[in-house]
């Protein structure tokens, strides 16, 4: 299984060298990797460029955009820009969206490729994130165990195309999995494939991002009841109960503005049914 990687990078000078080195150390090397330097103001570009000189499969481009770091939109706009630069002659089976602040185990992509090869119904795959707390690496427990973190998502090419690629909006790394299930693809999270996440999730988000999660719940066709449950759960996991109010405010702001949905009405019905099924399974 051949794979390609696109890495959006904004001011990642403190981490990107370790990420690129962990790619160079893979037992199964990628066919093509592109670092999209998204208007960084630090040494991100120079560090990435030093690696391109050493590895023929690694490439670098620069994208000009605003410095504001809202979740979802900036990073996926950079990813999608990188996708337009994929040479026609590059053949691949799997496409990976990777963050620039990770250290992957050397056999990570060998295992991921094996899973895709063994199961033709597998649409998405990934490992789990670990973060450093009190000098110990622990699982970054912000999501359910069947959810692949947005920092390291691998998609079968056919699945990626069927779900319409990645949407440049908060909630992109939820809607992709929901659409994956909608089109009857399978999702795999390998709990034994553990990736070091060097920078805490959301560490650089602008303050205006606090309402974006609630807006995403609206745009995913969750409805109010599921939004209330999801908001309470997420705020609790983050250890910040007052975020619940921000999420709900964001939901009603999006509703008042009639923000466009990220999915169709039919897909929304599937999503609500799937969410209620998960909620009931946990309760009963």
What per-residue confidence (pLDDT) applies to 67? 57
Domain ranges of the chain: 3-197, 209-283
What per-residue confidence (pLDDT) applies to 35? 98
Question: Does residue 36 contact residue 61 with C-beta atoms inside 8 Å?
Answer: yes
Q: pLDDT for 1-47, tens place per residue?
A: 999 999 999 999 999 999 999 999 999 999 999 999 999 999 999 99
Strand partners, 156: 94
What per-residue confidence (pLDDT) applies to 205? 47
Residue 224, phi then psi, degrees to nearest 5:
-65, -45
Question: 224-237 vs 212-219: helix axis angle to the nearest 10?
Answer: 140
What tokens appear for 197 in the block? 């996440």
pLDDT means per 10 residues, the chain with 284 residues, are: 97 97 98 97 97 97 76 88 97 98 98 98 97 89 85 98 95 96 98 92 58 93 96 89 93 95 96 94 80
Cβ neighbours, 10 Å, residue 169 = 21
In this structure, what DSSP letter does residue 57 have? Answer: T
Pick the CATH number of 3-197 from 3.90.550.10, 3.40.50.720, 3.30.565.10, 3.60.40.10: 3.90.550.10
Cβ neighbours, 10 Å, residue 255 = 15
**Of residues 105, 118, 190, 184, the one with CA closest to residue 154:** 190
3-state secondary structure of 268: helix
């Amino acid at each position: 299984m051949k794979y390609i990687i696109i890495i959006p990078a904004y001011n990642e000078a403190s981490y990107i060298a370790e990420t690129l080195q962990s790619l160079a150390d893979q037992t199964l090397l990628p066919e093509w990797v592109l670092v999209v330097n998204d208007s960084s103001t630090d040494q991100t570009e120079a560090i990435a460029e030093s690696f391109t000189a050493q590895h023929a499969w690694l490439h670098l481009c620069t994208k000009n955009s605003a410095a504001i770091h809202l979740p979802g939109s900036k990073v996926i706009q950079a990813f999608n820009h990188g996708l337009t630069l994929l040479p026609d002659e590059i053949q691949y089976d799997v496409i990976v969206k990777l963050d620039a602040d990770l250290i992957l185990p050397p056999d990570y992509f060998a295992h991921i490729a094996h899973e895709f090869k063994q199961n033709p119904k597998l649409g998405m795959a990934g490992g789990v994130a670990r973060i450093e707390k009190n000098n110990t690496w622990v699982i970054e427990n912000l999501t359910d165990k069947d959810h692949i973190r947005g920092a390291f998502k691998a998609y079968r090419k056919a699945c990626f195309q069927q779900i319409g690629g990645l949407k440049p909006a908060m909630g992109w790394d939820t809607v992709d999995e929901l659409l994956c299930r909608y089109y009857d693809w399978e999702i795999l999270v390998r709990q034994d494939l553990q990736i070091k996440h060097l920078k805490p999730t959301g560490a650089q988000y602008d303050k205006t991002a606090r309402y974006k999660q609630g807006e995403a719940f609206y745009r995913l066709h969750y409805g109010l009841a599921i939004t209330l449950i999801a908001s309470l759960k997420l705020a609790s996991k983050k250890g910040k109960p007052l975020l619940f109010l921000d999420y709900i405010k964001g939901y009603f702001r999006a509703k008042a503005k009639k923000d466009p949905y990220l999915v169709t009405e039919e897909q929304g019905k599937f999503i609500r049914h799937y969410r209620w099924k998960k909620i009931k399974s946990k309760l009963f």
